[in-house]
C-alpha cells in the first residue's frame, strides 16, 4: 500500500474526491481501488481538506433519503426515484430536438420552490436571448436562474465557485472544452475530463448536476456512453410519436430503472401526462383489423394498455423468419410453436412480423396470451372482437399461467373501456381461460 508522503494527496479517479491517505475504497463515491496518487489542484482545492474517515455503524447511516430534492416536475421525479439526490450527477441523453433543453429549463425554473437557492444554466449551444425566449414561450419564471453561455470548462468552474448553485445544468456536455484535456474539442477524452471535473464539483457540495448529451437515432454514440460510469443516473428521452416524450432511467444508483416519465411536447413546453395508461394504443373507429390484440402490462408501478400487431406471410426462403424488435424474437417463436403444436395452426412456413404500437419494448411474460391472440388472428385473418384484452403467461404445454398484480391490470383495462378481459385468474371482470385452446374458443365465441 502506498504511504502518505508530504505534499501528496490521493484523488479518486471516479469522483474526484481528495483525501490525505490511500484507501481501498473511496469514502465519497464508494468505488473500490479508485484512489490514485495525485496533487491537489491549487486553483480549485476542495473546500476544507477532509480528514481520514472513521468507520461508523451501518445502522446509523442515513440512506440519503433526506437529501432528495424535487425537480418540480412529477414525471421527472418519478424516473429519478422520487427526486434528484444532492451531490449526484444525472445525464440526460436524447436525439437533437427531442426536448432536452426544454426539460432542463423547466427543471431550473420549477425546482426551486423554496428558499433563495439558485440554479445555474450553462449553455454551449444557445445565446442567453434564445434561452430567455424559450422560458417566455413556456410561460415560466426566470427568478433564481443564472445563465452562462460558454463552452470553456474553466469559465464554468469559476462561475460555479462564485454562484454556488444548488442545481447545475450543463446543456450539453459535448460542447464543454478544456485545453487541459488536449487540443482537440469533442474527443472522448475531453468529454470525460470535463464531465469528471463537473461531477467532482457537485460531489463536494450539496448540489445536483444535470448534463444533457446528444445521441443519434441508432442509440448511444461512443461519447456519452463513456460518461455512464461517471454519473449516478443515466436517463434517456425517447419519442413515442410526434408529441409524446418518454423519460426512462437506464442506470439509477438511487432508484429503480423501471419507471417511465411521460410528457407531451406542447406549444408551451413539456406537459406531464397524468394518466398515460392509454398512451400506447391506437384509437380506431369500428372493427379491428386482423392481427391486433391488447394487453395490460406493467412499466414500473403503472399499468399501460399496449397494442400488439402481428402479420404472417408465406416464407420467402426455405427457412421462415421472425422480424420483431419490440418483443424478443425467441418469445415470438415460442408462442408460435405452441400454437402450431396445440392448435395445428401452421407457422413454420410463415415469416412473422411483430410490432408494438407506440414503439414500447415489452419484456413481461404476461403478454404471452395477447401475443398468441395476435398471431392467431393474423394467421387466420379473423380479427379479434372489440373490447377484448388478454393477460397470461403461456407454458410450452399450452397452459395459461397466472401473472402478478392481475387486479390492477383488470381495473385499468376496464377503466379504459375494455369489456372482456381474458385471463387465467378467477377474478371479477375476468373471463377465465386456462389453456390456449380455451383462449381461442373464447375468441371465437
Question: Site residues (CB under 6 A) for ligand TYD?
Answer: 94, 96-102, 134, 137-138, 265, 267-269
Peptide bond into 232 cis (omega under 30): no
**Is residue 174 part of the contact set for Mg ion (CB under 5 A)?**
no
**Is residue 107 part of the contact set for Mg ion (CB under 5 A)?**
no
Report the residue number whose CB is nearest to Mg ion.
101
CB of 96 to ligand TYD, least distance (A): 5
Q: Which 3 state secondary structure label does DSSP give 1? A: coil
Measured from the CB atom, the residue of 101 and 207 that comes closer to Mg ion is 101
Among ligand TYD, Mg ion, none, partner that 261 touches (CB below 5 to 8 angstroms by kind): none
CB of 173 to ligand TYD, least distance (A): 12
User: In Å, how far are 249, 315, 380, 385 from 311, measured between CA atoms?
Assistant: 32, 12, 10, 17
CB of 74 to ligand TYD, least distance (A): 18
Measured from the CB atom, the residue of 101 and 252 that comes closer to Mg ion is 101
Measured from the CB atom, the residue of 53 and 96 that comes closer to ligand TYD is 96
CB of 101 to Mg ion, least distance (A): 3
Among ligand TYD, Mg ion, none, partner that 138 touches (CB below 5 to 8 angstroms by kind): ligand TYD
Contacts of Mg ion in 233-292 (CB under 5 A): none
Q: Which 3 state secondary structure label does DSSP give 257? A: coil
User: Rounded CA gap, 164 and 28, in Å?
Assistant: 20
User: Rounded CA gap, 194 and 154, in Å?
Assistant: 9
Residue 404: which residues within 8 A CB-CB, separation 6 or more? 298, 366
The strand pair at 167-171 and 145-149 is best described as unpaired
**Is residue 101 part of the contact set for Mg ion (CB under 5 A)?**
yes
Among Mg ion, ligand TYD, none, partner that 96 touches (CB below 5 to 8 angstroms by kind): ligand TYD
Measured from the CB atom, the residue of 167 and 322 that comes closer to ligand TYD is 167
E strand or H helix at 330: helix 329-343
Please, what is the angle between helix 329-343 and helix 436-444, to 10°? 80
User: Rounded CA gap, 140 and 143, in Å?
Assistant: 9
Among ligand TYD, Mg ion, none, partner that 423 touches (CB below 5 to 8 angstroms by kind): none
Among Mg ion, ligand TYD, none, partner that 318 touches (CB below 5 to 8 angstroms by kind): none
User: Rounded CA gap, 73 and 186, in Å?
Assistant: 31
Interface positions with Mg ion (CB under 5 A): 101
Amino acid at each position: 500500500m502506498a504511504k502518505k508522503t508530504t505534499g501528496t494527496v490521493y484523488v479518486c479517479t471516479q469522483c474526484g474526491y481528495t483525501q490525505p491517505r490511500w484507501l481501498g475504497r473511496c469514502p465519497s463515491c464508494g468505488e473500490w481501488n479508485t484512489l490514485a496518487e495525485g496533487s491537489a489542484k491549487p486553483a480549485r482545492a476542495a473546500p476544507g481538506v477532509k480528514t481520514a474517515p472513521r468507520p461508523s455503524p451501518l445502522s446509523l447511516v442515513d440512506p440519503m433519503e433526506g437529501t432528495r430534492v424535487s425537480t418540480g416536475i412529477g414525471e421527472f421525479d418519478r424516473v429519478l426515484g422520487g427526486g434528484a439526490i444532492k451531490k449526484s450527477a444525472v445525464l440526460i441523453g436524447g436525439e437533437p430536438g427531442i426536448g432536452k433543453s426544454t426539460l432542463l429549463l423547466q427543471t431550473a425554473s420549477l425546482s426551486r420552490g423554496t428558499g433563495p437557492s439558485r440554479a445555474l444554466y450553462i449553455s454551449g449551444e444557445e445565446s442567453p436571448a434564445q434561452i430567455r425566449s424559450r422560458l417566455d414561450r413556456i410561460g415560466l419564471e426566470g427568478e433564481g436562474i443564472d445563465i452562462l453561455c460558454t463552452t470553456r470548462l474553466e469559465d464554468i468552474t469559476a462561475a460555479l465557485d462564485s454562484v454556488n448553485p444548488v442545481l447545475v445544468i450543463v446543456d450539453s456536455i459535448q460542447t464543454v472544452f478544456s485545453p487541459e484535456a488536449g487540443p482537440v474539442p469533442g474527443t472522448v477524452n475531453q468529454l470525460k475530463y470535463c464531465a469528471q471535473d463537473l461531477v467532482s464539483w457537485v460531489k463536494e457540495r450539496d448540489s445536483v448536476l444535470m448534463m444533457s448529451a446528444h445521441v443519434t437515432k441508432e442509440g448511444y454514440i461512443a461519447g456519452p456512453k463513456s460518461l455512464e460510469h461517471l454519473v449516478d443516473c443515466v436517463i434517456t428521452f425517447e419519442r413515442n410519436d410526434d408529441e409524446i416524450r418518454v423519460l426512462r432511467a437506464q442506470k439509477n444508483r438511487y432508484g429503480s430503472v423501471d419507471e417511465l416519465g411521460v410528457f407531451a411536447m406542447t406549444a408551451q413546453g413539456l406537459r406531464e401526462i397524468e394518466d398515460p395508461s392509454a398512451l400506447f394504443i391506437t384509437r380506431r373507429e369500428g372493427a379491428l383489423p386482423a392481427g391486433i390484440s391488447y394487453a395490460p402490462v406493467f412499466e414500473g408501478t403503472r399499468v399501460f394498455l399496449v397494442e400488439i400487431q402481428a402479420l404472417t406471410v408465406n416464407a420467402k426462403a426455405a427457412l421462415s423468419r421472425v422480424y420483431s424488435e419490440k418483443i424478443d424474437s425467441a418469445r415470438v417463436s415460442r408462442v408460435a410453436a405452441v400454437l402450431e403444436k396445440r392448435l395445428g395452426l401452421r407457422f413454420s412456413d410463415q415469416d412473422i412480423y411483430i410490432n408494438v404500437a407506440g414503439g414500447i419494448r415489452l419484456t413481461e411474460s404476461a403478454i404471452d396470451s395477447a401475443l398468441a391472440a395476435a398471431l392467431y388472428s393474423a394467421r387466420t385473418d379473423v380479427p379479434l372482437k372489440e373490447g377484448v384484452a388478454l393477460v397470461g403467461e403461456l407454458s410450452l404445454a399450452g397452459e395459461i399461467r397466472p401473472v402478478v398484480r392481475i387486479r390492477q391490470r383488470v381495473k385499468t383495462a376496464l377503466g379504459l373501456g375494455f369489456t372482456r378481459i381474458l385471463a387465467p385468474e378467477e377474478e371479477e371482470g375476468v373471463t377465465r381461460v386456462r389453456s390456449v385452446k380455451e383462449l381461442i374458443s373464447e375468441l371465437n365465441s
